[in-house]
Each structure stands twice: as structure tokens, then as C-alpha cells.
Amino acid sequence: MSYKDGQTSSSGVTLIFHSVLPEIIPGYYYIFGFFYFTFIILFVYSIFSISRKNSYLYKLNVIQKINNKIESKHRSKIAKLKHENENILSSNDFSVIPHEYSHPRAIHDLQRYLINKRANNLREAIEVYELEKYRDRQISIQSASLSSAIRAESSTQEVVDYLRRRNCLSSHI
């Protein structure tokens, strides 16, 4: 098999190699399977023994070097995040949140208002939070009123239908 640019395909050679060898070498599949099985066993063994103190990679300090490199990256990120957190806390006075707003939903909403610039400080964020709470209460009251009006209309319609049927029956008698 060859490509247009003159290179030969190794997959064709491999296919011929694996189709001819079993006929030439008795027990080819057993030998081939033994090598694959041995490779899998060694791979699994290396996974479980790589972190042991007596493993070859451990003795070469490869594992420790990789571990130290990863830890140093995380240390710098943690230090950076702590510094950013201190800057945020020092720039805004979040230390005095009223007890009424200290539950997780309120804190999340207050934080969201400040991040999205709907409020410039904690006092404005609390005002926005109270307005949204009031709006949600009004919506729930309106939906309750609407559902009760719908129930009343449906029961009124049932009474009207009942009276019409009764009048129709009494007029036929």
C-alpha cells in the first residue's frame, strides 16, 4: 500500500505480519497474549507501587520533586487569594452585618448586589434586598388573590350551571 507521495503504509505491513506469523510460529497467539498480559500486570503493579518508599521513582526523588512543584504553585495561589481577600475586606466594611441579614440567602443576595453594582455599599445593598423582599411578598399575595378569584369564579359557574340544569328539568315537567 502506498500513498500518492510515495510513502508506504505501515498498517498494511502490520496486517500482513500478524496474518502470516500465526502460520509460521506455532502458539503465536499464546506468546502474543502472554506479552500483553505481562504488560498489563506490570502497568497495574507500577500504579500501586509508585508512591512506596522503596520504588525506583521514589528513590530518584521524582515523586517528591513533582509534589513540591505542585505544592509551591498552590502555596502562591493561596497566598495571593488571602491577600486579595484581605484587600476586599479592608475596602468594604462587611464586619457589621445586622443579625436580620446574617442568613445565607441574604448574604448571597447582598454580595450579588455589590458585585453587580446594584449597590455601592452595605446600606444600599440592604435597601435593595428589602425592596426585592417586598416585591416578592406582593407577587405572592397577588398570585394567592388571583388563584382564590379563579376558584370563586369556577364555583360560581358550577352553581349557575346547576341552576340552569334544574330550571331546564323543572320546565320540562
pLDDT band at 164 (very low <50, low <70, confident <90, very high): confident
Residue 2 bridge partners (DSSP): 8
Residue-range domain boundaries for the chain: 7-49, 58-91, 98-173
Mean per-residue pLDDT, 19-48: 80
pLDDT band at 14 (very low <50, low <70, confident <90, very high): low
Say how far residue 64 (Cα) sits from the centre of its chain: 31
Q: Taking 90 as the threshold, does the pLDDT of residue 161 lie above it?
A: no
Whether the full predicted model's pTM is greater than 0.75, yes or no, is no
The chain-wide mean pLDDT, for the chain, equals: 78
Considering the chain, what percentage of its residues have pLDDT values greater than 90? 15
Spatial distance between the Cα atoms of 21 and 31, rounded to a whole number of angstroms: 11
What grid cell was written down for 18?
500478524
> What is the per-residue pLDDT for 66?
79
pLDDT band at 172 (very low <50, low <70, confident <90, very high): low
Q: Taking 50 as the threshold, does the pLDDT of residue 2 lie above it?
A: no
Mean per-residue pLDDT, 15-37: 78
Q: Is residue 113 a contact partner of residue 91, using CB atoms and an 8 Å limit?
A: no
The burial of 112, by beta-carbon neighbours within 10 Å (0-12 exposed, 13-18 middle, 19 or more buried), is given as: middle
3-state secondary structure of 8: strand
Write out pLDDT tens, residues 88-136.
Answer: 666 655 567 888 888 888 888 988 999 999 999 888 999 999 999 999 9
> What is the per-residue pLDDT for 1?
44
Write out pLDDT tens, residues 35-70.
Answer: 888 888 888 777 667 666 666 666 667 767 877 888
